[in-house]
Amino acid sequence: MIYTLTFNPSIDYEMNLAHLSLSHTNRSTHESYRLGGKGINVSHILHELGFESVILGFRGGFVGDEIQRLIYQFGLNEKLIELEEGTSRINVKVLGKVETEINGEGPLIGGSDMKQLYDQLDMLGKEDVLILSGSIPKCLNDNIYETILSVQNAKGVLCIVDATKDLLVNTLKHHPFLIKPNVAECEEILNESLLTTKQVVEAAKKLQEMGARNVMISRGKEGAVLVDENGGIFESKGLKGECISSVGCGDSMVAGFVAAYLKCSNYEEAFKLAMACGSATAFSEDLAKIEMIERCYNELEVRK
């Protein structure tokens, strides 16, 4: 079974603006809200690709109740732990010529709550996949992913990490199967500029030297690069088209990679489906549907 872990799920309230003027009253042209949280996004795309998963994490308050309702509405599976204190996040995303996000802090996760999560994770075995995605509340330490990965990796669970800064770096010594930083995140980790494809490939190799098995680096409109554990290097340029929203693109890539790898154990194919899913979400108002994913897949080219 595939498990996605989201410590900080949310309701994302999206507002479309023609122009954003600071210190003035702004009126949106359109509003909508949807499930947020990177692991939930991954589960959503996996479901679209025909792969079931279980959403792990925490929910709190009336927002948490709505998160659970929407998960069931979309036909997804969850084992979210209900918190006694605080409420899950409402994130405001302003969409227009420039995208702006205001993310909530998130609820308080206590020791007893974490024990319930660890009890759930104890059930995972070598036939399972665990995807650790996104940020964590301030009440948790930056080594939380490392703690989880050290135990799960030792059991043979296939672990994927999509996180930033120390939350990601701390896990590398435990050899995650896949990490998927973007260029900006790599630049921050390695403290260097990555302007060319060659530089991005070298950055991926450095992250492998730090412990990651496979490194997929997304580059926005420039596409993405994969350096796999066998020394394979794959590149794909971004498809031409109108980017409606970048929200969920990276999560879609992770889902596509995992789905294809579990199906055929081929890194080139996994990378191509990852690119197709990420591009399809960029061209969609919400997370991608299978029709758009298939269209993007047929248009994509992967170069070795």
Residue 238: phi, psi to the nearest 5?
-70, 145
* CA-closest candidate to residue 218, choices 192, 248, 253: 253
Residue 93: phi, psi to the nearest 5?
-120, 115
CB 248 within 8 A of CB 279: no
CB 162 within 8 A of CB 251: yes
- Give dist(CA 251, CA 38) in Å, integer: 6
* Catalytic residue (one of 122, 166, 251, 286): 251
- Tokens 């024990």: give the residue: 115
* CA-closest candidate to residue 246, choices 272, 209, 297, 283: 283
Please confirm, yes or no, whether 122 is among the known catalytic residues: no
* CA-closest candidate to residue 200, choices 183, 176, 177: 183
DSSP letter for each residue of 240-270: PS-----TTHHHHHHHHHHHHHHHH--HHHH
What is the CB-side half-sphere exposure of residue 206 using CA atoms within 13 A?
16
Q: Which residues are CB-contacts of 234 (< 8 A; sequence separation ≥ 6)?
A: 225, 226, 227, 228, 267, 268, 271, 302, 303, 304
Q: Which residues are CB-contacts of 167 (< 8 A; sequence separation ≥ 6)?
A: 135, 136, 142, 144, 145
What is the CB-side half-sphere exposure of residue 300 using CA atoms within 13 A?
29
* CA-closest candidate to residue 107, choices 80, 76, 75, 146: 80
**Active site positions, annotated:** 251
